[in-house]
Structure 1
Amino acid sequence: MSDSLMAMELAFERRGSGEPLILIHGIGHHWQAWLPVLDRLAAERTVIAVDLPGFGRSPGLPDGTPYTAESLADAVESFCALLGVRDPHVAGNSLGGYLALELASRGTVRTATALSPAGFWSRPELLYCQWVLRAMRASARSMPPEQAAKAAENPVGRALSAGLLVAHPARLTPTALVAATQALGEASGFDETLESFSNVMPPAPPKSPITIAWGEHDRLLLRRQAVRAARWSGQRVKLLKGCGHVPMSDDPELVARVLLEGSGG
């Protein structure tokens, strides 16, 4: 890990008390993705939801440091060290799920829970994922704030904006959808990170206990990828019934329960 990454500060939200649980969002998102489950988790854990470098309110990676799964995992490790958090539980969604598994393969976390993690795709599934995310990014960058707000207030607009990521767009608040659209459009690390997906393979075997769960109605990383994740992990993948790719708003109670169980609750 480079000295610049070891000193890196990231934006985050901390709540609750108990054993530390680090929450890592997916590509183009921000820590607020976890808001639907944050207080449920904080009742039993010290929850720290972080913005990855180049996403949300966190600065980008230092010049010369490529955006890869490895460098982003390094940044999360350095962030924990900077906060004095040792051997935390970690949970992530999508890219964040892959990073959680990567940290488990390093043995630097107590447990890892991954919700629809990246990296278990076939080549056509990877290309589909990249195409969808590029299209969503282009839409977010081209949409004026007032238009985004108007679309978020309309059920049809919410479905068009978020229907590929969540199973129940109506459960997203307009405020959350507008903020997520803005985060996607402004993420300085998005393009390079998305390109790096082409080189992402399943991580090395985990050295820490892991849990993998998958949205029943995941339309971005299709549910059949869970079969490969199960083969890789050697254990059954939990099915998040009624949930999409970003399941936190679809069923906060179910997701919180899976995360607490995965972190020894």
Structure 2
Amino acid sequence: MHHIRRGAGRPLLLIHGLGGHWQSWNPILDSLAASREVIAVDLPGFGQTPRLAGETSIRTLANEVANFLHVHGVTGIDAVGSSMGARLVLELARRGGIVGGVVSLNPGGFWRGWERHAFFSSIYLSIRLLRLLRPVLPAVCASPLGRALLLAQFSARPTKLAPEVVSDELCSYVASHAFDELLAQLAYGEEQQGAARNTIAHPLVIGWGKRDRVCFPRQAARALALFPDAQLHWFDRCGHFPHWDAPAQTVQLILSALGGERGKVADALSHADDRPDRAFSPGLHLPHSTDPAW
């Protein structure tokens, strides 16, 4: 499995989302590497890692990641995942003994009914548009209007994103060999299993953007129902990729959540950044019924 290692300190695994590659983490990679040794992978069928000979699914990808960690002697490593990768780190946490603390950012796979079809059809149409635009994607991404149109579903502030980050990510989607198979698996394949209360010994935090138009915020309650040991962190003005829309807050969340024991996580996160000039409140909470995102 192709990967990069950067920084020094306690190892930290980063797992990208559907269609992505290790560069998906570029907005926060250097900040994390200042405190931890970061290992960012290309999952099979994405980036520079060949696809699997058989089925590509959450189950088989989890098997591959577990084997990768064993081979490299880092079983028990803390792990962070985004989107599909966020569901993958939850699966690894559920299995036990594979990863340590986990931060899961906007995990996919907790949709119900029409949400499942909306996810599949919207991403299906998006990837086909990107494939048609492939020759001119870098030029389109260089334009604020182009980024706004292409990333309206994924980011709460697409015009603020670096053009090279967007171009690199979308070109990776187009080049992914396993994209179509895994999209169908995510939408209509095996549903995510949960873990009973008090069965996960390490910190487990689920982060969710309140403006996520891929995995709607109401799905957070379903994720917590399956993983009752998890704590929830809302990103107030973020879409599907908090590490893009709010990189500093995301780094703060990861380092705070994975810096202590499970019982101390809530207190650490509620005081992660209390400076008045910050535009967010990082406390852990469930949404109230008056929350417009809920």
Q: TM-score under structure 2 normalisation? A: 0.82
Deviations 1:5-25 (A, max 9, x none): xxxxx1212111111111111
Q: What percentage of aligned pairs have identical amino acids?
A: 36
Match of 2:46 among 45, 55, 64: 55
Aligned residues: 253
Aligned to 2:108: 118
Separation in 1, partners of 2:87, 2:139:
34
Whole-Å Cα distance in 1 between the matches of residues 43 and 201 of structure 2? 22
- Against the structure 1 CA distance between its residues 196 and 260, is the aligned structure 2 distance closer, same or farther, given a 3 Å change threshold? same
- After superposition, the C-alpha distances for 1:214-234 in whole angstroms (9 at most, x for unaligned) are 011101111110111122222
For 1:220 and 1:229, locate their aligned partners in 2 and report how far apart those are by CA, in whole Å.
15
State the partner residue of 1:37: 28
> Per the alignment, in what secondary structure is the counterpart of residue 243 of structure 2?
coil
What 5-or-longer segments of structure 2 have no aligned partner?
Answer: 261-294
Unmatched runs of 5 consecutive residues or more in structure 1: 1-9
Return the match for 1:140 from 130, 143, 148. 130
Provide the residue aligned with 1:242 in structure 2.
Answer: 237
Q: Which runs of 4+ in 1 moved over 4 A?
A: none
Q: For residues 119 and 254 of structure 2, what CA distance do their matches in structure 1 show?
A: 25
The aligned runs of 1:217-236 (5 Å cut-off) are 217-234=211-228, 235-236=230-231
Alpha carbon RMSD of aligned pairs, Å? 1.4
Which digits, 9 at most, give the CA deviation of each residue in 1:211-262, with x for residues without a partner? 1010111011111101111222224411012111011111111111111122
Give the CA deviation at 1:47.
Answer: 0.7
* Cα contact 2:194–2:227 (8 A) shared by 1: no
Q: How far apart in 1 are the matches of 2:125 and 2:131? A: 10
Say yes or no: does 1:199 pair with 2:189. yes
Name the aligned partner's letter for residue 69 of structure 1: I
**Structure ID, larger Rg:** 2
Distance 1:243 1:208 in 2: 29
2:207 corresponds to which residue? 213
User: Is the partner of 1:221 in helix, strand or coil?
Assistant: coil
The TM-score with structure 1 as length reference comes to: 0.91
For CA contacts below 8 A with separation 6 or more, give which structure has more relative contact order: 1
Q: Deviations over 1:126-168 (max 9, x none)?
A: 11111111111101211133x2122112111101111211111
